[in-house]
Amino acid sequence: MLKHKSSDEIILILTFLLLVSNLFWLMNPKSVTKCNTTNSNKKNVQIFLLAGQSNMSGRGGISRKVVGGNVTEIWDGFVPEECKPNHKIIRLNAAQKWEEAHEPLNYGIDCLSSCGLGPGMAFANEILKKDTNFGVIGLVPCARGGTGLYRWNRGSYAYDDLIKRTKLALKDGGIIRGLLWYHGEGDIRTNNGSSSYKIKFEKFVNDLRSDLNSPNLPILLAILPYPKKPFEGPYIEVVRAAQLGINISNVIKFDAEGLEIGSDGIHLTTPAQIQLGQSNMAGRGGVIKKIVGGNVTKVWNGFVPEECKPNHKIIRLNVAQKWEEAHEPLNYGIDCLTSCGLGPGMAFANEILIKDSNFGVIGLVPCARGGTSLDKWRIGTHPYDELVKRAKIAEKSGGIIRGLLWYHGESDVKGGNGYKDYKINLEKFIHDFRSDLNSSNLPIFQVILPYPKKPFKGPYIEEVRAAQLAINISNVIKIDAKGLEIGPDGIHLTTSAQVQLGHMFAHAFLSLNNFTSSITYNFFNFFPF
């Protein structure tokens, strides 16, 4: 970990671009549960447990058909490239034997004909793509569709089978690296299940760690997305609040809100299961669409301009809440993995150090959450609470929070009610954030949205821009991005535009002492054509 004195400067950065949480920090070499592997015939397997309800067991690609006069659920058989078998991915099957893993991953555990795709294979393939030396990944599917949380109490069949299968997996040698948990679909239906969800889940975590003799076992907890009709989940807010309120070490929460839900209103589609396994995106410079195995996927082109290169004086707070040398993609692991691209953060920090070589260490704290409208940044929501939490963790290391970089509004220009109250909601966000950080004059560097272009549709761009321009709060420095180059999707900035935006942020920050009121910086002031 990089050391820095209490006088060093921490720049709190929020470059708000696109969506959820890093799974790869589990690749760190520290072992969670080790087994005796002295027998050369035993595998040194990197074991991941998959448990919860039907979305973890997998319902991607499931549809209803009438067979013999009866309605039945069947899988369409489609396996995307991201979910294809790999000789380095194995699964513990229903007969408690290791075999090469394949979709449907949960077949035989709690489903036969109606098994579909879950996130497990996409998750494992993504790890191996990023780290070819990771070793053999052993997936232990244990999900049980339709099980309320009370069905996961110690002594219940679902819980005891999870423990049993985990211990059988360990007999062949290996390391338990974590539990992937997606659950709650049944508990949002009733008050009985939802009201005690937090207490029951905390007990489940403690019992599981105790029974596996692994007190720090990482738990990757999916926060339930909002269902849609025809599914009825009147207690969704209660369960989401309970999940977000979990405060146990090594429980890593990531919000599934925004993932595509199928026609039944509760189960994720196949593309959404892939996203859940891979996570999603924030920072889109250099992100392009490619056809892989007949499917369109988004990938970063890997290009890092000179202005965005690493510097030993620039560090970032990663998803494990540890400081590390910053690098692109800066938002990697916060809410994206494969399709992370470049944002303005590295260009911003490098530009400051060019202008002032004595500035000190710059700490970047990425907190962007793609696809979130402004109403998702209220007190009590996951993005807002995570922003405050990460800011306070950063401060504990010693330093000064020098400002918040804010780029937002892409979702609100599409429609709904977000554009109507945008000014009021943004002003409330600023006041709440400053209050929670006890920093009444915290500088906010607010981007005014550029005009989108086709194919993106943003009919309310004028309303949102007007609301952003009308903000009249001290130490809110507005930077108009109008004129910056937009990529082919019509809304996200290109790599060169992200570099320019980073420089604009830096110039505004370095000139801050000259500001006495809310001022708008226009793109053309910095980069005339």
Task: Please give the positions annotated as active site.
Answer: 54, 264, 267
Those residues with Cβ within 8 angstroms of residue 378's Cβ, 6 or more apart along the chain or in another chain: 384, 425, 428, 429, 432
Sign of the dihedral through C-alpha 391, 464, 478, 316: positive
Those residues with Cβ within 8 angstroms of residue 88's Cβ, 6 or more apart along the chain or in another chain: 128, 134, 135, 136, 137
Strand intervals (E) in 407-496: 444-448, 476-480
- Give me the residue label for tokens 């570099």: 499
Structure tokens at 428: 């409330």
Cβ neighbours of 1 (radius 10 Å): 9
HSE toward the beta carbon, residue 529, CA cutoff 13 A = 5
Contact 317, 397 (CB under 8 A): no
How far apart are the C-alpha atoms of 313 and 363, rounded to whole Å?
Answer: 8
DSSP notation for 256-289: -TTS-B-TTSSSBPHHHHHHHHH---S--BTEEE
Minimal CA–CA distance to 501: which of 453, 451, 462, 446? 446
Cβ neighbours of 417 (radius 10 Å): 10
Contact 388, 12 (CB under 8 A): no
Whole-angstrom distance between the N-terminal and C-terminal Cα of the chain?
Answer: 42
Ranges of H-type helices in 197-235: 197-211
Contact 312, 349 (CB under 8 A): no
